[in-house]
Structure 1
Amino acid sequence: MKNTILKVESISKRFSNVLAVDNISFAVNRGEIFAFLGPNGAGKTTTLRILLDIIKADDGKIEWNLGGNSHHMPQPNLIGYLPEERGLYLDIPILKSLVYLASIRGMDKTEAKKSALEWLERLGLADRAKEKLQVLSKGNQQKIQFIASILHKPIFAILDEPFSGLDPLNQELFIEFIKEINSKGTTILLSAHQMHLVEKVANRVFLINKGRELYNGNLLDIYKTLGNKKIIELHYKSGLNENSLKNFKGAENIDVVDQSIVKLTFEQNTDIKSVLSELATTDGDFDISTHKPDLHDIFLYLVKNYKI
């Protein structure tokens, strides 16, 4: 397809006795935000490093088509990369480091300095441009790493756990920035485990667990297919007795979020009145709320029902 700028076919990667990536395939289309989602250790970062030729796959094929020609690995100026583990120079002034990184990716130094200062201003760090990265908090270091990954205006950006170290306010801010750079022509491959954030911005998703595909497709389609269930959420005011819910009648899935919140998943045609009546006889003091499944709920359902 002419619109496909990254095609991944049946890649696998093993480390000793661990099959980190197990025969996965997907494609990213021009202009979209494609989300690669799963818990820590699911194989996300390993896959991204394979895409960037940092490590080699044991099997499979990767084809890029960023500049109109198919190739194994595109030029550095065409790609932006925000790694999960920060990779900037800790002992070099922030602005100097940003300008240098943009210049080696083909950006004019004067333009790079101007753009870097604009981004620092937007992220509330303009007054710290001459400081070294090592004196910043983890959240502010993440902001600098983000600027470095998109400053040279790449055609394609890979953002691995971009929300790491950020407070909720800055997470929402990053969502708006991701939408903005995408609207200006940058295709984005976004890897994360905070599904409630990603579903606000992604067009398509690839759900992965233990190296294997759980779902690959349009975000709206997964809601149509698996989002038609019913979730009853119990908020306990005192201690939770898990044993009282283990064999709850009719529940497809019981997710103990923490010691005060439990989510019960039911089929769409379940008689909720009878469920509520049964809950009334269950031990514990709790409030009840209901909602449709979000992406996190759907992921948990897939993990339970597609054993890997």
Structure 2
Amino acid sequence: MKSSGLFSSKQLQMLAAGDEKVLNDFDAQGLFPGIGESAEEFAARMGKLSAALEKLHNDLKKTPDLEVASGIRINEKNAISGNVTNEALDQTGALYNVRPEWVPGFFANESFGIFWGGCSLSDPDSGLSLFIIRKAFKKKPRWLFYRRQELLAHEMTHASHQAFTEWMFEEYFAYQTASSALRKFFGGCFIHKFDSLGFIGPILLLPVMQFLNLFQIVNCPMGFFWCLAGVYPAFLALRTCWINRIAGRARKFLIKKKAPHPGAALFRMSVAEIKTLAAGRMPQGNDLRWKILQKYLDNGQE
């Protein structure tokens, strides 16, 4: 976690003044203004993040095993080293030109379920994000079907995109870190918290109804429940294809216009702006975010 120089009082003052170099320094760390956010508002938000990082650092000094969530504890000796995070930072840098070195990462103290690979925790008030991964990743880059690099890069992408509250492309960006083309395309199916319930609920209902029919407790046509079980998965697949199609068309438009880094440009755009690109038009903006975004669109303007 490298943040002391980035969040110095001098840097934050220069950020509040809209200094271009400092804006670019923060941008490279995956910290950029939100939609319509002014320089003063952005600097104030970064000040909150700086205070939260400092508090976490001090709490870790005072408490050997700090509980950051129910049943989840971290300590300094289990902090993820730079040589491990660099493998993920290289990937986020290539995809979106962000290397969020400020995000704290830890190996888990506890033993969780066999299928648990890791998780991220975030505080929407301060903007603090941290990630915790399975202790087994300390010695090896893979666990079952999880890859350490992919897991870290996925969570770092979320941490870098938190200036946006729009849901549509959040999982799309995060799953571009996947090594599998299938996971890269369909990995973002589950966007909302109720998506998994809508997917698995009707499927779990099938054996229940089969049992009730078998013992003639009820007499229901199973064909209806088979159709019901397929409705939400079909919806998720269609929604994912729609999101990928819009993002793909937007990227192709930027490539056609010779934008120097299409992925980085899309990552810093709103949903409306990405849809405008997909429709074959270049969006326009004049807020602080666009001051940064413009460098990724040079040669992309007509």
Q: TM-score, normalized by length of structure 2?
A: 0.26
Q: TM-score, normalized by length of structure 1?
A: 0.26
Higher helix fraction (1 or 2)? 2
Higher strand fraction (1 or 2)? 1
Higher relative contact order (CA 8 A, sep 6+): 1
